[in-house]
Amino acid sequence: MNLSIVEYPDRRLKLKSKKIEKFDKSLHRLLDAMYPIMMNTNGIGLAAIQVAHPIQALILNIPEEDGEQPDENLIEMINPIIKSKDGETVYQEGCLSVPSFYEDITRFETISVEYQDRDANLKTMDADGLLSIAIQHEVDHLNGILFIDKLSYGRRKKFEKEHKRMLKEKKNSKK
Ligand code: Y12
Ligand code: CO
């Protein structure tokens, strides 16, 4: 499966992803193909919409303290729903669909999320720390929300300016 990362300002990133009903080979193939893309780009989370599939699937691999991301850390969530949330935390987030831009984002500190695994088994996970932040970031993608949508008016303006300059530089370097 040939996948590539959809980047801002592509409007597909605004789409609401559809609930998954069929837990078949094509879903497994997509999840399997998303994993190397995420790992090869130093990602820790990736939603299916970021590879142009508007369905409610996301993957995560939260690094260990030494920065390693063993395959055993892979988490796949299908049709996730955040059932409860508490507290507040701030973290400097980045996104594979918004390369080279990082900003402090406020999120819930702890969450409880219900989801299905790739075989439709129902699961519940309580999360805090980076895992909680990553789940909230990826669930936002399923609702067409990017972390830059959470910036204040002033910070968003700053981002748009920086982004325009970055695209210009990219274009010039290709000439
Ligand atoms: C905390 C904060 C954000 C998340 C969401 C998941 N975000 C990522 O996985 C971001 C990855 C990322 C990787 C980059 O490196 C490459 O593309 C090689 C990157 O670098 C550049 O853009 C140059 C930016 C972001 C979860 C938890
Ligand atoms: Co993202």
pLDDT tens figures, 120-157: 999 999 999 999 999 999 999 999 999 999 999 999 99
146 Cα: distance to centroid of ligand 1 (angstroms): 13
CA distance 122 to 79: 10
- The pLDDT tens digits for 58-73 are 999 999 999 999 999 9
Segment 76-80 shows an average pLDDT of 99
* Rounded distance between C-alpha atoms, residue 17 and residue 52, angstroms: 10
The ligand with the least distance to the CA atom of 101 is 1
Residue 147: nearest ligand to its CA? 2
Q: Which residue has the CA at smallest separation from atom 7 of ligand 1?
A: 95
Cα of 28 vs centre of ligand 1, distance in Å, is 24
CB-ligand 1 contact for 139 (6 Å cutoff): no
**93-132 in b/e burial notation, b at 16+ Cβ within 10 A?**
bbbbbbeebebebebbbebebebbebeeeeeeeebeeebb
